[in-house]
Amino acid sequence: MQKIVPVLDLPLDKVCLWTDSTIVLAWLNMQPHMLKTFVSNRVAKIQSLCSNSQWRHVSSKCNPADVLSRGADAKDLRDNDLWWQGPEFLLRDITDPEECPYPKDKTYEQELKRNVTVSCAVTNDSDFLDKLLDLTNNYSKLIRILSFCCRFLKNCLHKNVETGFLTATELDNAEQLLIKQVQSTTFAKEITALQDGKSVPVSSKLKSLDPFLDSNSVLRVGGRLKNANLDYDAKHQIILPNGHKITKLIFEFYHKKYLHVGAQGLLHQVRLRYWPLNGKSTARMIVHNCVICYKNKPVIADQIMGNLPKERVTPILAFTNCGIDFCGPFLIKFKNQRKGIYSKIYVAIFICLSTKAIHLETVSDLSSEAFIASLKRFIARRGKMAMIITDNATNFKGAKSELNRLFNLIRKPDESLANYLSSERINWKLIPPRSPNFGGLWEAGVKSFKYHLKRTIGLYKVTLEEFNTIIIQIEGILNSRPLSPLSSDINEYEVLTPAHFLIGRPITAIPEPEIINISDNKLSRWQQLTKFTQIIWKRWQREYLNHLQQRYKW
């Protein structure tokens, strides 16, 4: 039609198209979306090309196209009036279109799409929570499943359909919905009492927590920290029932998230958002039942613990007395390397003898030059130490000899400079040969570092940048471990960690007189900051130092 109409160059009022196929004519009178894909695409194309035309039916005996399509002799074609003049009804004035006969061929029905009716019935199933928790043992995957279910229900009720990746708001809403369902089954009496404006029963386990319902009807800890400068989740944790599967899934999720941290560290991370009942036992059970932790747990030798040296029990700035050890080698690869020889790398561990704070540095080899370079990087970031204690490794002895030679060279030309360097000189101490028990503190640091590293990368080969990222994250986790056992009191929201001694103090701070017992209104602003620092050391002496009194190995 697009080629014939322009060639005729005649004024046309309307265009009528005739066909003897009742099936095709029935398809053309339908909407394309009601047909299957193959026929639907061609019907839509024909309708777009003939949008201003009318389709009508002609019988096969009156169709001139059949004369040519079925084959005809030239002599017969010359005397055929149907071919030259067309059917007789075209000579009449046709106003109304004829009705298309309904096709009786089954081919017409085969190309129609089936009408599928979708119905959704909402029921109140008491076993919904149990069926949902049986789907997976991964807490993150469980929240995502529930988030997609909530999105589906929302799209069914609203015209604005949401697609794409899940948002943080959807995940939070799904988590609150799941926890609210768990709390409604385990704390039904307490929630009913709070909804009626009453307090929880005296016999309830939640009585000491002063629980309340937030704006989303989630049961949270009330406590006495409403005026504390903390996040809302840290002041009012979500209460979790003891022994419930959702509680175990949350503990397992945080245990894997923080690189298989121990029981105390696991409980500390969970309590930043949740308050599980009997959380200590749950944390110990999760760590004890972890298969990866069990496989990587070394055999501990039973030895008598000796008296602690003076450097371990004297309050002093972090890393003033420092122990150093190496661990490795670890194999790393270059970026985009798929095969070939991997490079070796080592990790130097610096550990503070008084606060157990840890600093990790990557070292290319075990030479004295590499160790001196790592020592310079450490001093530039953490400050100069007063004493270094190491074992009798060859690289440590060589580094000590090299530093002594440099001090002797500098001492000769300038006496004042030599005196200054002597006053600031680092005291280097080596433990007795073949006595690893003297270096138990940094050996424990090596153990803690490997504990997280093996569970993080396993047998995978990483690049240098990825390796540095992992060890710095492990350093932050190790410096966030509690130095003393966690308290069961809900008002003790903060625990003493090595990070308290690393943040918020100058590197070259000088000793200050003790001002803990002086009232704040008698102190200046700087003295108040000094008092806060001394309170931290007082907690170190009261909580952590007393914890070292017992001998756990005999």
Residue 68 lies in a domain: yes
Last residue of one domain, picked from the residues 243, 266, 296? 296
Distance (Å, rounded) from C-alpha 296 to C-alpha 274?
29
The reported pTM is 0.45
Residues 186 and 99 in one domain: no
pLDDT at 530: 60
Query: 213: which strand partners?
Result: 219
DSSP labels for 9-78?
----S-EEEEES-HHHHHHHTS-GGGB-HHHHHHHHHHHHHTTTEEEEE--GGG-THHHHHT---HHHHH
Q: Which residues of the chain have pLDDT under 70?
A: 93-108, 115-126, 299-305, 337, 340, 393-425, 486-494, 504-516, 524-554
Token pair for 456: 């993080």
Residues 105 and 148 in one domain: no
- The CATH number given to whatever domain includes residue 331 is 3.30.420.10
Residue 301 lies in a domain: no
With contact defined as beta carbons under 8 Å apart, do 425 and 408 qualify? no
- The CATH number given to whatever domain includes residue 244 is 1.10.340.70
Residues 343 and 400 in one domain: yes
Residue 97 lies in a domain: yes
Residues 103 and 181 in one domain: no
Residues 281 and 336 in one domain: no
Distance (Å, rounded) from C-alpha 32 to C-alpha 21?
18
Does 329 sit behind a cis peptide bond, omega within 30 degrees of 0 on the bond before it?
yes
Domain that holds residue 149: 141-296
Residues 438 and 538 in one domain: yes
Residues 271 and 170 in one domain: yes
pLDDT at 212: 92
Domain count, the chain: 3
Residues 286 and 325 in one domain: no
Residues 289 and 419 in one domain: no
Residues 182 and 260 in one domain: yes
Residues 283 and 327 in one domain: no
Last residue of one domain, picked from the residues 111, 126, 155? 111
Residues 198 and 101 in one domain: no
pLDDT at 13: 75
